[in-house]
Amino acid sequence: MSKVGIIGIGLIGGSIAKALPSEVVVYDASSHALQAASGLGIETASSVDELVNTVDTLVIGVPFEAFDSVFASVQSAAARREKPILVTNVLSVMNPVEVTEPNVEFVASHPMAGTEFSGFEAAKADLFEGATWVLAKANDQLAGLVAKLGAKPVVVDPSKHNAIVSQVSHMPHVLAAAQILALPDDSFYSLAASSFRDSTRVAATAPELTGSMVGNNSEEVLHAMKRLSGVLDEFIEVLESGDQAALEQLFARANSQRSKHY
Amino acid sequence: MSKVGIIGIGLIGGSIAKALPSEVVVYDASSHALQAASGLGIETASSVDELVNTVDTLVIGVPFEAFDSVFASVQSAAARREKPILVTNVLSVMNPVEVTEPNVEFVASHPMAGTEFSGFEAAKADLFEGATWVLAKANDQLAGLVAKLGAKPVVVDPSKHNAIVSQVSHMPHVLAAAQILALPDDSFYSLAASSFRDSTRVAATAPELTGSMVGNNSEEVLHAMKRLSGVLDEFIEVLESGDQAALEQLFARANSQRSKHY
């Protein structure tokens, strides 16, 4: 069985490489990252072409901005292959990807795991342990790789995926940033304790990553913000009316719903 | 030097008791909690009256609903003392407290520490280590106790305190609950990872505590929600316009502001 190719060894691609160091071949535009991988005994390729010719499964781990051009190079290289190559990306939004090369079987996927850090140095071998990993469609080859990483492959339709992540991932990022930006001045940090620290933790994520993620899913994020705003209006109404029982009821409903899942 | 009295040994009062087990005398309406404290070698009193007659510093650790009636009992008992008693509460909102008994010196205070759990069992000896502890006015006796608990006493005007906590503590609680209540259905939890878990953690707090906290500071919380909603409108505007650079700029500003403090 051939090794798994990885293009882009940031937090996600790098974590796959660290989890399966002897079963992957990696390529990254940064020679610094490639050296770091090589230093851990991970096999490296010197170009996208070389990588596409070496493996039967390829993970594209580059950010949104780089994806189209990297995928175009992958398709040209794959044209010279004798058999198909399975390609996945690991982007946090599943937007349509145009496949023009018959030798490429593309299945979008998205591991529901991450941290507020980025880059190969932040990558961790156990990042995916126990995490859900969404596949845009069923694929045994990809599901096998996901399972080997300790994650649970789950097939979810891309549009449903985008709607869900807008609410459970992109909204927390927007609200973390919004809470920071809503502080009238720096003195407010003096009384901030764990509730503020934790609910703004993901504001430490690299802004270009968060911006792409949210911007590439803007329609769904706008829906999510509308849903949230409807709930905030309920809070405003009970706070303005002074109905303490109704206020407590809102918190009680949230508490009981959450406790079924955590 | 007399011991410190504590009425109400929930998360806060209980944590003070566990931190200074040989230096406190405690009373609680729950005999179960009193037995648990006694089991740890902590001295207990059999009534508010007995406690007020034994100590020169008293921490009232009961929730909002119980505070007025407990404070009334403390004032009656203090009338029979020969010298003044310093009384503080540890409520998360500093609303006016009417002191009618000359023997009572009252200074509101609020430790900026907590967890989503409550009760004596959840209390931890190190809960206050390194935390800020707000005093409504300067008081050496109280500052000494706070320092002994490993916390940093800081004098903040009560109205300023209420404005700050509305934004850095009460908003995270409202947003945690609102994010839960905004989920269209339970399937959304299937893709929730650490960003959602952390940003909704405090929704696990007992609803009666959160409800009282937010309800007792409703005016400031409404201001905080208005400030937040202004920022969310900026996000909506850039998302609707598709201005990716402006979106990234919002995340970058939040990232840079937060990184100065964490």
Give A 104-143 residues with CB within 8 A of chain B: 112-115, 131-132, 134
Q: How far is A159 from chain B (nearest CA, A)?
A: 13
In the block, residue with structure tokens 């596409």? A52
Q: Please state, for a pLDDT cut of 70, what percent of chain A lies above it.
A: 100
Q: Which of residues 201-220 of B touch A (CB under 8 A)?
A: 201-208, 210-212, 214-215, 218
What ipTM was estimated for this complex? Answer: 0.90
Is residue A119 within 8 Å of residue A10, measured between CB atoms?
yes
In Å, how far is B34's CA from the nearest CA of chain A?
Answer: 28
**Does residue B161 sit at the A interface (CB-CB below 8 Å)?**
yes
**CB distance A184–B167 less than 8 Å?**
yes
Q: What local confidence, expressed as pLDDT, does residue B2 receive?
A: 82
Q: Which of residues 242-261 of B touch A (CB under 8 A)?
A: 242, 244, 247-255, 257-261
Residues of A within 8 A of B195 (CB-CB) are: 114, 168-169, 172-173, 201-202
CB pairs under 8 A between A and B: 292
Distance linking the first and last C-alpha atoms of chain A: 39
Instruction: Indicate the residue of A132, A188, A259 with minimum beta-carbon distance to B168.
Output: A188
pLDDT tens-digit readout, B87-144: 999 999 999 999 999 999 999 999 999 888 899 999 999 999 999 999 999 999 999 9
Beta strands in chain B (DSSP E): 4-7, 24-27, 43-44, 57-60, 85-89, 104-106, 109-111, 132-135, 152-155
Q: Which of A191, A196, A189 is nearest to B111 (CA)?
A: A191
The pairing of strands A104-106 and A85-89 is parallel
**pTM reported for the whole predicted model:** 0.89
Shortest Cα distance from B105 to chain A (angstroms)? Answer: 25
From chain A, the residues in CB contact with B248 under 8 A are 207-208, 210-212, 215
The pLDDT tens digits for B12-27 are 999 999 999 999 999 9
Q: Is residue B74 within 8 Å of residue B58, measured between CB atoms?
A: yes
pLDDT tens, residue by residue, B10-65 = 999 999 999 999 999 999 999 999 999 999 999 999 999 999 999 999 999 999 99
When CB atoms are compared, the residue of A184, A211, A260 closest to B248 is: A211
- pLDDT computed for residue A46 by the predictor: 96
**How does pLDDT run across B158-208, given as a tens digit for each residue?**
999 999 999 999 999 999 999 999 999 999 999 998 999 999 999 999 999
Please write the tens of the pLDDT for every residue from A38-67: 999 999 999 999 999 999 999 999 999 999
- Compute the nearest-CA separation of B143 from chain A (Å): 16
Contact A45, A5 (CB under 8 A): yes
Predicted confidence band at A1 (pLDDT cuts at 50, 70, 90)? Answer: low
A147, pLDDT greater than 90: yes
Quickly count: other Cβ atoms within 10 Å of residue A172's Cβ: 27
Residues of B in contact with A112 (CB under 8 A): 191-193
Nearest CB to B131 within list A132, A193, A255: A193
